[in-house]
Amino acid sequence: MVRWTYTRGVLVGAVLGVAALALAGCGLSSTGTNGASAGTNSAQTPGLTTWSGASGPTLPAISGTTLTGAKFTPSQVSGRVLVVNAWASWCYPCESESPTLARVARQVAGKGVTFIGIDEQDTSGAALSFARKVGSPYSSIVDRSGSLLGSFRIVPATAIPSTIVIRPDGHVAARIIGPVTAGALLGVLRPLEQ
């Protein structure tokens, strides 16, 4: 009986540990860059890595069909700062950060900044309902298979939510793995606004 109690305690501890990790974010991993050049990590904002000037990596072309059926291509954002946010309707941290992203997108509208979402491994109905609920003022590309996010070598394919800020020259200025705050995002965007 004593041995069973000890084993049950270890099992309960392991289950609680896994649950805590799951609550930290929807993805399975939040570290590693898959071989991308190293940036500078921020001690004030966990999950934030920044790159200066052209030292940032470049991403593959971000294109696809949006939730509303429109096409999104890189030419639509040429010469602008691009904020890319990976999210899903089933992701609790995404739900908590989405109003912040919507508010910042409205705040920087007209300052040379474009937002685009990437809806990860979701159903159309759930994703559209989620976008309406949070009042998202920008479009989201449908990524049912996760292959688009998986092609971004600086973000683990399972790191949802994640936000990437891309300079007008195509180089990454910052990546935030995990929920973004208005302060962190505006701190990255202000020097890049036009």
The mean pLDDT of 1-27, rounded to a whole number, is 40
Give the whole-angstrom CA distance, residue 102 versus residue 79: 22
Other C-beta atoms lying within 10 Å of the C-beta of residue 114: 18
Give the whole-angstrom CA distance, residue 75 versus residue 67: 19
Domain regions of the chain by residue span? 29-192
Give the whole-angstrom CA distance, residue 173 versus residue 170: 9
Query: 3-class DSSP state for residue 70?
Result: coil
Other C-beta atoms lying within 10 Å of the C-beta of residue 95: 18
pLDDT in tens, 23-48: 345 653 333 333 344 555 544 566 89
pLDDT exceeds cutoff 80 at 7: no
Indicate the angle between helix axes 92-107 and 124-134, nearest 10 degrees: 50
Pairing mode, strands 81-87 and 113-120: parallel
pLDDT in tens, 141-167: 999 988 888 888 888 878 899 999 999
Structure tokens at 127: 């994703």
Q: Which band of pLDDT confidence, cut at 50, 70 and 90, is reported for residue 74?
A: confident
The mean pLDDT of 4-21, rounded to a whole number, is 38
The mean pLDDT of 167-174, rounded to a whole number, is 93
Global pTM exceeds 0.85: no
Burial of 80 (0-12, 13-18, 19+ CB in 10 A): middle
Contact 143, 20 (CB under 8 A): no
Assigned CATH topology for domain 29-192: Glutaredoxin (3.40.30)
